[in-house]
A and B are shown apart, each in its own frame.
Chain A
Amino acid sequence: MSGFDWITPVILTVITAATPLVFAGIGELITEKSGVLNLGVEGMMLVGAVSGFITATVTGNYFLAVAAAALAGAIMAFLFGILTLSLMANQVATGLALTLFGVGLSALMGQNFVGQPVAALAKLDIPGLSDLPFIGPILFGQDGLVYLSFVMAIVVSWFLYKTKAGLILRAVGDSHDAAHSIGYSVIGIRYLAVMFGGAMSGIGGAYLSLAYTPMWAENMTAGRGWIALALIVFATWKPGLVVVGAYMFGGITILQLHAQAAGLNVPSQVLSMLPYLATVFVLVLISKDQSRIRKHAPACIGKIFHPAA
């Protein structure tokens, strides 16, 4: 065994750990950029996870399963939209309620599916390429959702900063009154952004129940929705940094497990705490330089929009 054989498996594990966070983080980023704070990511992920799992079990079609997960997440987000955008309920409270609702609803939906395995999402296998040493399994041996997560990150980044629609979305998030006064439908745009966020969270959840650990178990997201929310702040609302942050979170978790398995005498509690310590550290850094936050953080986040005002 050469000295670097361990690197490929570590990277492969990091990728699976980071992918659900990338999906949920990218989705919530769009939601927040439109000026809406949806704390229901965990709930939307769970409903996506169970919907994807049920569809995969019943139909055996993974494309449908991922689509169902996205749809389920979007429906959850739509409910959130009705309450916060149309009925103008408090976004923080509604988001928390959405998570609680999602935990319960997913448990109810999945009742008859607990303890049932499902085949894992197929991985890409290109003869020759996938067998290349070191980079083969990493670049050419992933499942489709991993590639999709990167595509989505790039698309979202391009959309936000290179398209007119992205500019409008950011305008709605930064000053809904100004956007409204020049004729944009603030509520309509926010509905779309919130539902996109829900769909991405749903896919992130489905990644857990179809690829990461192909099964359904209650509460199987185990707090990843909250990590995704923290990631956005960590990334100061920049899509590229969301991906970096997701891989950092995943990477530290996996590295500490490998360090333990390798018998390194590092206290596991310290290593478990590292990702969160890093978040706090970054928060301290960015709060020292307020201009960096102001530049990217949506100014209207969490504020309710009254069209008449």
Chain B
Amino acid sequence: MTLKYISTLVGAVAMAGSLLIGSTAAAEETKVGFIYVGPIGDFGWTNRHDIGRHAVQEEFGDKVKTGFVESVKEGPDSERVIRQMAADGYKLIFTTSFGFMNPTLKVAKQFPDVKFEHATGYKRADNVSTYSSRFYEGRYVVGKIAGKMTKTNIIGYVGSFPIPEVVRGINAMTLAARSINPDVKVKVAWVSTWYDPGKEGDAAKALIDAGADVILQHTDSPAPLQVAESRGVWAVGQASDMAKFAPKSQLTAIVDNWNGYYIARTKAVMNGTWKSEDTWGGFKAGMVELAPFNKAIPSDVVELANATRKGIEDGTILPFAGPFNKQDGSVGAADGTSLDDGTLLGMNWYVEGVEGSLPK
């Protein structure tokens, strides 16, 4: 009850802030709003979106006014925050977390003139686009490295919530690792949060105690990398280059880059050419990048990683190409086929090699 009250108050205070920003905006400015699930100082997911917001502001200068509300709880409460932004004259609103999906659509119905962009979701409307990165392409490259670097043949994965986006990453990494090292097993610890440094670190400790010597994460703080560094195992950074937190341990990091997309969509709104569409870009679109490789990675592994990345970019390597099995032994994809985007977007099963059962 109290927590709920607090989040409401936080929302209200943040809103007051955005209203204040709004009232100073001149009439001809295009107002572009961002709804963040975490704090902009999380050094991960939200931080990268906010860097995208800065890029928009820099690109268009006086012609655009950007605003944001951070640490918005997913679920019903976010609806109020989004609606307030729409009512406040924002012409383009990016809602940057999966859990904002239904609230975004609900508000979009009430504000047909405002354009909405929802990250990582799958529901669209005339004024709601969806966009996401093919993070799994990065995971696939990382899987090749992890499969080569592990000595215990156990890779640990700190998961946030068992949604398709996260499951897809686990599967892509597992397929890649096992393609070069069939003995690899992947252990997953779900923490039921996107951001709780303490808990994320604890999950990494649990995985290392269970034998993992490479730690991947799909949560937003660098805590798992710190744990990996102090325990002397490998890790992969998430969303930002986190090498500062694990100079010895970070193999690489999967870095999000939203700048180009945000600038293009803002331009489309200003020109009146904005259309509802679904964008799902990976390495090729520049939406996924890899941080510099750790010097400790042997050169043949670096070559393998670079070749894999190039293959994904030019389409000769498809991360979800068969043949491979699901965890239960049934066929995931047959030889000569590859999973289509629809299947990837709804992925709710593990591939062979992942241990434990997927929480429903």
Contact = CB atoms under 8 A, between A and B. Distances in A.
B359 interface: yes
A107 B221 contact: no
B3 interface: yes
B222 A215 contact: yes
B195 to A, nearest CB: 7
A218 B39 CA distance: 6
Interface residues of A, number: 48
Interface string B23-43: 000000000000000111111
A215 B43 CA distance: 11
Contacts of B156: 261
Nearest to A6: B209
Interface in B205-237: 205-207, 209-210, 212, 221-223, 226, 230
Contacts of B188: 260
Interface string B158-198: 00000000000000000000000000000111111101111
Interface string A89-126: 00000001001100100010011001111001000000
A71 interface: no
User: Mostly helix, strand, loop or mixed at chain A's interface?
Assistant: helix
A222 B6 contact: no
B103 interface: no
Interface residues of B, number: 50
Interface in A1-28: 6, 9-10, 13, 16-17, 20
A114 B189 contact: no
A13 B223 contact: no
**For A107, A110, A219, which residue has the most chain B Cβ atoms within 10 angstroms?**
A219
Contacts, number: 136
B357 interface: yes
Interface in B27-63: 38-43, 47
A100 B240 CA distance: 27
Given A218-B40, A261-B187, A265-B357, A212 B201 contact: yes
A186 B195 CA distance: 41
Contacts of B112: none
A261 B189 contact: yes
Contacts of A117: 222, 226, 244-245
B277 interface: no
B3 A17 contact: no
Contact of B43 (A114, A208, A262, A268): A114
27 contacts: A10-B209, A13-B205, A17-B198, A103-B10, A110-B41, A114-B47, A115-B240, A115-B244, A116-B244, A117-B244, A213-B201, A215-B197, A217-B43, A217-B221, A218-B39, A218-B40, A219-B195, A220-B197, A223-B196, A224-B198, A226-B2, A229-B2, A257-B191, A257-B206, A260-B190, A263-B187, A269-B359
Interface of A: 6, 9-10, 13, 16-17, 20, 39, 96, 99-100, 103, 107, 110-111, 114-117, 120, 208, 212-215, 217-220, 222-224, 226, 229, 253-254, 257-258, 260-265, 267-269, 272
